Amino acid sequence: MIFRKDSILLGAILGFIGPVLGLLIFKLTKFSEHTVGATIKYMYLEQGHRTLSVGLSLALLVNAVLFTIYVNANKDQTAKGIFALTCIYGVGILLLKTFW
């Protein structure tokens, strides 16, 4: 099974997919009556981009869960990949909140 592997590449892939999945869950819970396009347009055009930054920050919680699962399973290389992508996403969100 793929989730039993211990590699940085698997962690990077999971670290990339996790926030995307988290953002989709955020969209389905908060903006269920809107289309994906309308939701993205609202989040982009909203003054201060508050909803976008909140959604992205909450999406990183998926990576925190994945990271915890892989650390507890002693899959340290996979956890490193997840952590690296979480840091990259985090810096991007920080830049978004600070400069945009």
pLDDT at 99 over 90: no
The number of angstroms, rounded, from the C-alpha of 45 to the middle of its chain's C-alpha atoms is 21
Q: Which residues contact 83 (CB under 8 A, 6 or more apart)?
A: 11, 15, 67
Number of domains in the chain: 1
Q: Which residues contact 12 (CB under 8 A, 6 or more apart)?
A: 81, 82, 84, 85
* pLDDT value of residue 2: 62
Could you list the residue range(s) of the whole structural domain that residue 17 is in?
Answer: 5-99
Q: How far apart are alpha carbons 59 and 53 in whole angstroms?
A: 10
Tell me the pLDDT tens digit for each residue of 1-37. 567 789 999 999 999 999 999 988 988 998 889 998 8
pLDDT at 48 over 90: no
Average pLDDT, the chain: 88
CA distances to 14, 21, 40, 56, 89 from 66, in Å: 8, 12, 25, 16, 15
pTM of the model: 0.84
